[in-house]
Structure 1
Amino acid sequence: MTSTIRTRTALASLAAAALLALSACGGGSGSDGSDAGDDASSSASPSADASGGPSLDGIPDVVAEVNGEEVTRDEFVPIYQAGFKAAESQAQMTGEEPDEDALRKQALDDLVDTELLSQEADSRGIEVSDEDVDAELTELAEQNGMKTSDELLEAVAAQGLDEEQARDQVETQVMVEQLVADENGPIEPTDKELRAIYDQAKAQQAQSGQEGQDFPPFAEVRDQIVDQAVAEETGKVAQAMLEKLKADADITLNL
């Protein structure tokens, strides 16, 4: 079983654009929205700007309003650029150019979802401390075979998000976890559930024609499977909360 940079937040769209896979290709990008990286791949899409990143034309100062709260261009651009960079890396393997319209929509949807959950957390008195963020960064580093959180932040920076932006994203995922725990209680998968996930992964490997390859024993990957199970259930609860929140929300999209 393999893993890239993993986040426990199972509302994957919130974190996917922020904590990019270490396996992604290419260098860093700016965080001020003025460019998308000096080291971007030469295989950028035709609609990309001159620096090799996505086009930032037509992005307004306020990309959305959620219950009267503004979601700004400065919040949107780094997430959009990071998502584009990940898609660009994927394109090098698939040959499919990044779909900028789809990536813009995904980034905007992610930010609106984040704002809705953040407002709900505020209404419940949920606060994430710097210590919470530090602890999560350390755990994420360990999960991904790194010695320190600084090493993780350097890897993320190489993919286009500076330390402040990365910490903001980790704060979001901790907030989502705490909000889900407040809504649903602690998530504790059973051994039966973990075994089912393990058996499914093993069967998928066999079906993909890799049956002869070594598959790690259950005990060796149990902790990783727990993370996956908790993430999946967290995502289900968070998505259900979002559906309820959106039904009552006043949302204006400007992009």
Structure 2
Amino acid sequence: MKKLVMLMMTLALAVVMAACNGDSEDNNNEEGSGEGQSEQASQQQQQMPEPDLEGIPDVVAEVNGEEISGEEFKTTYEGQFQQMAMQSQMSGQELNQDELKQQTAEGMVSSELLIQEAGNRNFEASDKEVDEKLTELAQQSGMESKDKFISALEEQGMKQEDINSQVKTQVKVDKLIADESGDTKPSEEELQQAYDQFKSQREQMSQGSEGGEQAEIPSFDEMKSDLESQVKKQKEAEAAQTIIDKLREDADVTINL
């Protein structure tokens, strides 16, 4: 059986995080909002659109001879759809499912290209590295331990061996990106630019809110650790896209949507 692509792991994590955030928001609503907001939340839930999975082919794409199946695509699309549908409700903009399907397919192709390249370069992932990655993913999801994180993924339909396989693949791809991106340590100038952008966005949000009261903005020193992580991830994402663009030039890719 073909392994699930890396993107599915990312989306599965996103689903878990959304569920946790949703539970937190529901609890807050129950504690301080009363029946009015509960009724409004119920109406919003009723208005949530359903993913359109009609007509998905058995093979959604082929990447250098490797198939991305319709079932893999459906699972990945449902996770992506859930996130985008929530954003669509908040923004009031209608979700274009045809565009989202194309974006999802392209994302899966990109992930497959990275996986293949990591395999071609013979990157390895030790048990220790897999364990550390699981712990990191658990922390990112806001869960107390990797065991709870694994349990949450299993509730989403993933098996233990699939989870371990996905994390091992993620570690190898991380090594590929690190190998290509080189030193991603942010400079002080880059951190200051990121902080200025954050500060400007917060000020604009405060001006647009009712009453115009400006929320307290953390200082640069208070945010420095988060800024370093944010800028580093941006650099890694840019490096990943550069790799994908290069691989795509010589790749044999067919998308059947």
Cα distance in 1 for partners of 2:99, 2:151 equals 28
Q: Normalising by structure 2, what TM-score?
A: 0.74
**Matched residue, 2:92:** 95
Q: Deviations over 1:158-188 (max 9, x none)?
A: 7x56465666655454333211222232321
Higher Cα radius of gyration = 2
**Deviation by residue 1:80-102 (Cα, 9 ceiling, x = unmatched):** 00011112222332333432212
Q: One-letter code of the match for 2:131? A: D
* Higher fraction of helix: 2
TM-superposed deviation, 1:152: 3.5
- Given that 2:181 and 2:236 are in contact with CA atoms closer than 8 Å, whether structure 1 keeps it comes out as no
Q: Match for residue 44 of structure 1?
A: 48
Decide whether aligned partners of structure 1 residues 171 and 226 sit closer, same or farther in structure 2, where only a CA change above 3 A counts: farther
> Identity percentage over the alignment?
40
Maintained 8 Å contact 1:84/1:98? no
Q: Tell me, yes or no, if the aligned pair for 2:186 and 2:228 is still in contact at 8 Å.
A: yes
**Cα distance between partner residues in 1 of 2:200 and 2:56:** 45
Name the aligned partner's letter for residue 104 of structure 1.
K
* Closer/same/farther in 2, CA of residues 220 and 143 from structure 1, 3 Å limit: farther
Question: Whole-Å Cα distance in 1 between the matches of residues 184 and 120 of structure 2?
Answer: 22
Q: Could you tell me whether the CA contact under 8 Å between 2:114 and 2:244 is conserved in 1?
A: yes
Distance 1:226 1:249, change over 3 A: same
Q: Secondary structure at the match of 2:13?
A: coil
Give yes or no for the alignment of 1:139 onto 2:136: yes
Q: SS in structure 2 opposite 1:20? A: helix
Distance 2:62 2:173 in 1: 20
Residues 55 and 144 (structure 1), Cα distance of their counterparts in 2 relative to 1, 3 Å cut: closer
**8 Å CA contact 1:176, 1:238 repeated in 2:** no
Q: Identify if the C-alpha distance between structure 1 residues 147 and 235 changes in structure 2 by more than 3 Å, giving closer, same or farther.
A: same
Specify the alignment match of 2:35 in structure 1.
Answer: none
Give the TM-score taking structure 1 as reference length: 0.74
> Equivalent of 2:216, from 206, 214, 217?
214
Q: Specify the alignment match of 2:249 in structure 1.
A: 247
Indicate which of 67, 80, 91 corresponds to 2:64: 67
Do the aligned partners of residues 20 and 218 (structure 1) sit closer, same or farther apart at CA in structure 2, a change above 3 Å counting? same
Q: C-alpha separation between the residues in 2 aligned to 1:199 and 1:144?
A: 27
Equivalent residue, structure 2, for 1:187: 184
Q: What is the Cα deviation at residue 58 of structure 1?
A: 1.3
Partner of residue 121, structure 2: 124
Q: 1:77 to 1:229 in 2, by over 3 A?
A: same
- The count of aligned residue pairs is 223
The one-letter amino acid of 2:58's match is D
1:62 touches 1:73 (CA, 8 Å); kept in 2? yes
1:143-182 paired onto structure 2 within 5 Å? 143-153=140-150, 160=156, 162=158, 170-182=167-179
Please tell me the residue identity of whatever aligns with 1:81: E
Which blocks of at least 5 consecutive residues in structure 1 are unaligned? 1-12, 28-39, 49-53
Q: Deviations over 1:85-136 (max 9, x none)?
A: 1122223323334322122112111110011111111111113345433312
Cα RMSD after superposing both structures: 3.0
